[in-house]
Structure 1
Amino acid sequence: MPLLIDTSAPVLVTGATGYVAGWIVKALLQAGVTVHAAVRAPEDEAKTSHLRAIAEAAPGTLTLFKADLLDQGSYAQAMAGCGTVFHTASPFTLNVQDAQADLVDPAVLGTRNVLETASATPSVRRVVLTSSVAAIYGDNADIASAPGGRLDESVWNTTSSLTHNPYSYSKTKAEQAAWEMAQAQAQWDLVVVNPSLVIGPALQARPTSESFSVLRQMASGRMKAGAPRWGIGCVDVRDLAQAHLAAAYLPEAEGRNIVSAVDTDFVQMAATLLPSYGAAYPLPRKALPKWLVWLIAPLARMSRQSVTRNVDVPFRADNTKAVKALGLSYRPLAESMTDMFAQMIESGQIAKR
């Protein structure tokens, strides 16, 4: 049954120029929704032109608003009259100098900023928060203590900190803050989407998500000798966008929702690219032994603790709830990877061979 999307009230999408947000905006505009897109620099054509182009070809309407996670109250104008808020804005980077300032503050304070504005905006009835499986676990070694040895929505990340997996720590603290605020009021309800590593093509020419760094490393030859068998989950960005719409418009949607298509690892991910690109690019074809990954970890800007707790340790997550409750179906890993790789070549992120 097709999802019934209410077009009677505008919706707000925070961080609308982001990788995931772009596909959410596109799906909303194609459904005829009026989208209020909150971005840091609406006047920056390089960052917003793809959204304007999508809007021109869609029945929905796009309006850009200036807002910033750390600017208290800056989302008020963009949120006025909106029935639904998609809060996607949050930094996703692994190379930080100051974890508190670069990751935790924008994630936590930004979430509080947006949700405080939601509580002050009478029209808001639902908030969809883009969290992460990083708020559920810190390292693959943690999964052994999950129910049945598989992550589900009842599990919280308790092992990350400012010094170990700070990105995961920021996502955990931000989601916890969101639930505390949601439970303290009765005007709007909160639905959380917890995706694994997001892959698939981007709508903008130069996306900044760390997902693209992984493929660039695979294509560059840095992993020619092999890749670590680092267990990870993946989901296509297009399927994730549909999960967000279902979270917003299905009345029965609730709680946390693990959105992850496949349990995999870097070696298996690279293997999906070999049939189409193996002859032209020095893609990894085998797994590096864990002892070697541990030895060279500092040279690759990895901690040896992370290697110990993640390499050769499988990722396992139960995606049953979201599949059933949100009506999801997932693209195969190979389709997502090849579409992403092709788009990165086309946009110049990976050199043509």
Structure 2
Amino acid sequence: MSSRIAVIGASGFIGSHVAVELIARGHDVTLTARDPRATAAWLVPALKKRAPRGTLYALMQAELDDADSIEIALEGCSGLICCAGTAKAEPATVELMLAAVQNICSACLTAEVPVAVFTSSTGSMNPPGDEPELKNELDHWSDDAAQIAAGKFGPAGKTRLDRGALAAMQESGGRLRTAVINPSLVTGPVYQPDPVGQLRLIRDILKGERMAESIPNDSMSIIDVRDLAQLHIAALLNPNASGRYFGVKRSWHWREILAALQRCVPGYSPPPVDPEEVPIRPTGFDLTRRDSLGVPLRDLDEILQAVVDELNRRGMLD
């Protein structure tokens, strides 16, 4: 594989980490953003800090629904990672995500780029009925029609993205390899000047503005954004990697998450646990495929400590 990789959606939380990690490894990168000028103000300094001497990068405008702009960004590239999405959750989101994966895969075939990796979510992996004891990437699919009927347009879009990526690979006759990384809650250090929603969530918990009265009897699947970036790159570079991969460390009950936050911030006190409540079982995952990518992942305390450090750096806990 040649050294230049395209990152679609480099202005996002995940995409910026993918871009910085690629360039730290010595890859040239072509980065796309909806607003390259605004993105350059904060992303270019991060790239320069990590880039080995002689590494090249370009930042250009591209839109998910504009196949021509994606094809231009792919010039001279041998691989693509798409971390772009939309913050909107509306009916149009579903068709946008399907159009995005179709446009990107079509552009890859035209430009003879042999591999594309996509960021999706575990929202595409919730089969109807009772939750499996261990979810896996091969068998467990959400029902996108049911998701749309329930107004879950964001997850429905991801379900169609996953199906579109795998269909494009199957229909390419071996010309295109696709992989999809499926995270849930992604958090960690942030390059963007504005705090992402995940930072605000943890900040609100620590400030007593969320989960102040009771702990949800639920679980959350979490990963550090730096580890998620590594999973994307591992899937890109491994010629045997294709299909979907969980992008989670594991799932924890909120009791465990809040207890870990207390270890990170000793002044924080979680709400009391209801002694009569039977805690639900956290979501279970068969992580065999994820582990085949060979990326070591941070555990809960290290993940949350990085969040607390970022919040302190920004003065959000003052």
Aligned to 2:8: 14
Alpha-carbon distance in 2 for matches of 1:61, 1:286: 53
Alpha-carbon distance in 1 for matches of 2:205, 2:254: 9
Aligned residue among 136, 139, 142 for 1:157: 142
In the alignment, structure 1 residue 26 sits paired with structure 2 residue 20: yes
* AA at the equivalent of 1:106: L
Aligned to 2:294: 327
Q: Is the 8 A contact 2:264 2:304 kept in 1?
A: no
Offset from partner CA, 1:122-163 (integer Å, 9 cap, x none): 2x0111111222111168x742xx3xx210012111252253
Aligned to 1:117: 107
Q: Is the 8 A contact 2:246 2:290 kept in 1?
A: yes
* AA at the equivalent of 2:84: A
What are the within-5 Å matches in structure 2 for residues 16-55 of structure 1?
16-44=10-38, 47-55=39-47
In the alignment, structure 1 residue 247 sits paired with structure 2 residue 228: no
Alpha-carbon distance in 2 for matches of 1:347, 1:162: 40
* Residue 225 (structure 1) shift: 1.2
* Residue 16 (structure 1) shift: 0.3
* Residue 86 (structure 1) shift: 0.3
Q: Is the 8 A contact 1:224 1:285 kept in 2?
A: yes
* AA at the equivalent of 1:108: L
* Residue 290 (structure 1) shift: 11
Alpha-carbon distance in 2 for matches of 1:290, 1:75: 55
SS of the counterpart of 1:56? helix
SS of the counterpart of 1:74? helix
* Residue 91 (structure 1) shift: 2.2
User: What is the identity percentage for the equivalent residue pairs of Structure 1 and Structure 2?
Assistant: 26
SS of the counterpart of 1:64? strand
Q: 1:109 to 1:218 in 2, by over 3 A?
A: same
Alpha-carbon distance in 1 for matches of 2:274, 2:9: 37
In the alignment, structure 1 residue 229 sits paired with structure 2 residue 221: no
Alpha-carbon distance in 2 for matches of 1:339, 1:115: 35
**Gapped regions of structure 2 (runs ≥ 5):** none
Q: Is the 8 A contact 2:142 2:159 kept in 1?
A: yes
Alpha-carbon distance in 1 for matches of 2:244, 2:274: 35
* Residue 178 (structure 1) shift: 1.7
Aligned to 1:347: 314
Offset from partner CA, 1:40-64 (integer Å, 9 cap, x none): 01111xx333321122231232210
Aligned to 1:73: 68
* Residue 19 (structure 1) shift: 0.9
Aligned to 1:132: 121
Aligned to 1:199: 187
Structure 1 residue runs of 4 or more that deviate by more than 6 Å after TM superposition = 288-291
Aligned residue among 184, 192, 195 for 2:171: 184
* Residue 214 (structure 1) shift: 2.3
Alpha-carbon distance in 2 for matches of 1:153, 1:260: 12
What are the within-5 Å matches in structure 2 for residues 65-104 of structure 1?
65-92=60-87, 96=89, 99-101=90-92, 103-104=93-94
SS of the counterpart of 1:227? coil
What is the TM-score of this pair, normalised by structure 2?
0.89
Aligned to 2:206: 219
Q: 1:75 to 1:342 in 2, by over 3 A?
A: same
* AA at the equivalent of 1:342: D
What is the TM-score of this pair, normalised by structure 1?
0.80
* Residue 266 (structure 1) shift: 2.7
Alpha-carbon distance in 2 for matches of 1:23, 1:241: 6
Alpha-carbon distance in 1 for matches of 2:195, 2:71: 27
**Gapped regions of structure 1 (runs ≥ 5):** 1-5, 292-310
* AA at the equivalent of 1:9: S
* AA at the equivalent of 1:128: V
Task: Tell me how many residue pairs correspond in the alignment.
Answer: 309
Q: 1:119 to 1:202 in 2, by over 3 A?
A: same
* AA at the equivalent of 1:150: L
Offset from partner CA, 1:3-29 (integer Å, 9 cap, x none): xxx5x3311101101111111111110
Q: Is the 8 A contact 2:6 2:29 kept in 1?
A: yes
